[in-house]
Structure 1
């Protein structure tokens, strides 16, 4: 019996222009009426997750939002305000290790700092300005001796050879690393502190509710969703997911552009619940 539905956002719950379709919203609300809890699990920070959370009623239902790949988890209170309940940031030595390696391999970086108004970058270029526009953060060029702000996660961008080298160098550190690039001849990785990912945060949320993994449904499409999809009893891969994720999922649905979340909930969950 499904008691909790956890949802990735980009490539899963939303389509273009950051919108949640009416079909997805209606299906989620119907599931909630049957006693199912809803949770968002995204790589976004809370500022960019709030609109989506409100669209599916998480604010009014006082539910959880996992952000930054598990870096920070929030729960909406009685005033429909997200309250931080747990967070994990890089230690300064780890942050400097990653940035020094990025400089060595001439890669670009963008950090989601604890201060929501800033991001530390190795260099300013088109990639960092795009993320600046999306996040609204001021770009601060990395200076090893002057850095004083911690960060939740780091995005690294560059040529495939450089990304492969930095991944190999960082692997012994045990950081969580997720690939999300679909740009030809380049690659991106998201880096989180050791042990910090969507699965870690989802396990905490499930424990708070007293819900077993077998009673959780997780929808996702990316590398940062794989561990959670393996752990839950109902791991659902979006139609736009990569092959490796579809192979480990227990079920699949239509693409995010075709309301895959709503389609699956209506077809497999709501009908079976009648």
Structure 2
């Protein structure tokens, strides 16, 4: 393999994946060609590792992967000396369980590298979570015996802002509260000051790659820090307006039409078979 040239960090939903949350054949070919040319490709996603490792395998990656918007960095199949995990005090989870009714919370999911527990009133309708929970997946003060890495909370629309305000007021010095983009009334809670750029910086340092040699792709507000940190930040054609405004470039095509693959092939002048 030739000398490593670039670190390519890729968001998944709305970026590398199409609207059916699948990889296209062209995307797989281009990313494999990038690796064959000596570049490092790393997934940097808000998804939990349980939902991104199959994609990692489909792309035949060997690099570290970043999950939970920067709070977890690890290699799915081999030891990574720089593995890390930022967590949230479990007492915050217990507090939110206690005010579930007050804020009409429909789902609370507490996750980590080897943790998945949830409390829900009914199937959430979010494809990131099981429609029905197994007995050993029920979140409670008894079952949660470790600090989670990420909290995902779904509420009724009129309680989204009041709940965010409550969490910020009570725990704002400890956690960041981020709303999901799109139609769902969901907020995500993570360790204070941790974002996707946290993970990108750790991977770049590990491979001795300078910021100017990092290419990052994203589409939503949780990609802001990564796009700004990268030497070359690329917003998808379907990205929100703010991300487009801070990116170095915007793909001509969206995620449904191989926008990332087409851009990367042209930018790196890849020979794709």
- Shorter-chain TM-score: what band? 0.7 to 0.9
Structure 2 counterparts to residues 39-54 of structure 1, below 5 A: 39-54=42-57
Segments ≥4 residues shifted beyond 3 Å: 97-103, 114-118, 128-132, 134-147
Measure how far apart 1:98 and its partner are.
4.1
Q: How many residues align?
A: 261
Unaligned runs of 5+ in 2: none
TM-score between both structures, scaled by the size of structure 2: 0.83
2:217 counterpart SS class: strand
Q: Deviations over 1:113-133 (max 9, x none)?
A: 348564232x42231785432
Q: CA RMSD in A?
A: 2.8
Indicate the residue corresponding to 2:65 in structure 1. 65
1: CA distance, partners of 2:240 / 2:99? 29
Unaligned runs of 5+ in 1: none
Note if 1:218 corresponds to 2:216: yes
Indicate the residue corresponding to 1:269 in structure 2. 268
Indicate the residue corresponding to 2:27 in structure 1. 24
Indicate the residue corresponding to 1:108 in structure 2. 106
Q: Contact conserved, 2:181 with 2:221, CA < 8 A, in 1?
A: no
Q: Deviations over 1:21-46 (max 9, x none)?
A: 12112222222222211100112222
Indicate the residue corresponding to 1:187 in structure 2. 185
Indicate the residue corresponding to 2:167 in structure 1. 170
Measure how far apart 1:52 and its partner are.
0.9
More helix by percentage: 1
Indicate the residue corresponding to 2:205 in structure 1. 207
Q: Deviations over 1:195-241 (max 9, x none)?
A: 22211111111111111222111111122111111111111111221
